[in-house]
Amino acid sequence: MHQVNSRDRGLNYGDGFFTTVRVCEGKLDRWEGHLQRLKQCASALYFPVLDLNTLSEHCEIAAREINDGVLKVVITRGEGGRGYGLPDEPQLTTLLSSSAYPAHYENWRVKGVSLALSDVRLGHQPLLAGLKTLNRLEQVLIKQNAATKQADDVLVMDLQGEVIESSAANILICKDKRWYTPDLSHCGIQGVFLSSLQMYNPIETASMDLAFVYAADAVYLCNSLMGLVPVRQIDHQQFSLSKAQALASELVVKA
C-alpha cells in the first residue's frame, strides 16, 4: 500500500497523468502505445523528459508479479512550486498499482452493450484534449449520472452536442464500409487501443452528431482493457450484433 505526501501536486491540482495497462501472462499489452501516450502527456504538461527505460523495467517486473490483471501507472509532478506555479526542478512521483481484470468485459465483447445518453456533457479544453490527465472530475460526474440509467454504459457528447466517447472508452463507427472515430481535439481521451487500431486500419476522424451515430451500420466501444466491444443499443436505437461482429472481423487488431 503506497503512501503519497499530501503536498503532492497530483493530489492538490491533479497535476499529472496516468495509464492503465492490460497484463496477460505476465506481459504488458500494447506497452509501446502506453509509453507513447505517457510521453505525450509529459510534453503537453511541461513535465521533464520521462526516464522511459527505468519505467519500463519497473513495469515489466510488476507485470510478472501481476501475471493476469491490470497495471495502473500514475505520474505526478511531485511536490513543490508556489501555489499552482511549477517547481523549478520537479521530482516526479511515479506510482504503480495493480487490480483484477474487470470480469464483465469478456461478456461485453461477446454479447455487446447497451448505452444510454449521458446528461453530463464534456467541456472543451484543447490544451488538455486527448490526454489522460489526473483531472477526471467530468468522468466522475458521468459515472454518477450513468448509475441512474438502465444501461451498461453511457454515450457522452460535448457541450455542442458532438459525440465524443463513452464513460471510459473511445467510440468506433462503421458506415458504408468506412470507419470513423470522433474528433478528440477539443475534449475526450485518445485511448491506446484506438491509436493502435488507427495505425493498422484506415479510420477517419470526424465530428459526429447523434444522427450520424444512429445511422451507422455498427458502433463499438474500445479501450486497452475491454478491447473492441460492439454496441447493441443506444437509447431506443438498435444495432445488429451479428453485423457488428462481421464488420469487426475485417479490422486488423494487433497486440
Catalytic residue list contains 27: no
Q: Determine how many CB atoms are found less than 10 A away from the CB of residue 190.
A: 18
Is residue 12 part of the contact set for a copy of itself (CB under 8 A)?
A: yes
Q: Which stretch binds a copy of itself (CB under 8 A): 58-66, 121-129, 172-180, 189-197?
A: 121-129
Smallest distance from a copy of itself to CB 135, Å: 4
Is residue 153 part of the contact set for a copy of itself (CB under 8 A)?
A: no
Catalytic residue list contains 65: no
For residue 156, what is its C-alpha cell? 457522452
Give kind and range of the element (H or E) at residue 246.
helix 241-248
Binding mask 227-246 for a copy of itself (x = CB under 8 A): --------------------
Query: Residues 66, 74, 228, 247: which binds a copy of itself (CB under 8 A)?
Result: 74
Is residue 7 part of the contact set for a copy of itself (CB under 8 A)?
A: yes
Is residue 1 part of the contact set for a copy of itself (CB under 8 A)?
A: yes
Smallest distance from a copy of itself to CB 72, Å: 8
Catalytic residue list contains 254: no
Hey, is 205 helix, strand or coil?
Answer: strand
Q: Which of 235, 250, 247 is nearest to 114 (CA)?
A: 235
Smallest distance from a copy of itself to CB 98, Å: 11
Return d(Cα 38, Cα 42) in angstroms, integer. 6
Return d(Cα 133, Cα 138) in angstroms, integer. 12
Return d(Cα 231, Cα 104) in angstroms, integer. 15
Return d(Cα 65, Cα 77) in angstroms, integer. 27
Is residue 98 part of the contact set for a copy of itself (CB under 8 A)?
A: no
Torsions phi, psi of 25, nearest 5?
50, 45
Which CB sits closer to a copy of itself, 13 or 214? 13
Query: Residues 127, 211, 252, 255: which binds a copy of itself (CB under 8 A)?
Result: 127
Return d(Cα 93, Cα 95) in angstroms, integer. 7
Is residue 46 part of the contact set for a copy of itself (CB under 8 A)?
A: yes
Query: Residues 50, 92, 117, 120: which binds a copy of itself (CB under 8 A)?
Result: 120
Is residue 83 part of the contact set for a copy of itself (CB under 8 A)?
A: yes
Is residue 162 part of the contact set for a copy of itself (CB under 8 A)?
A: no
Q: Judging by beta carbons within 10 Å of its beta carbon (0-12, 13-18, 19+), is residue 158 exposed, middle or buried?
A: buried
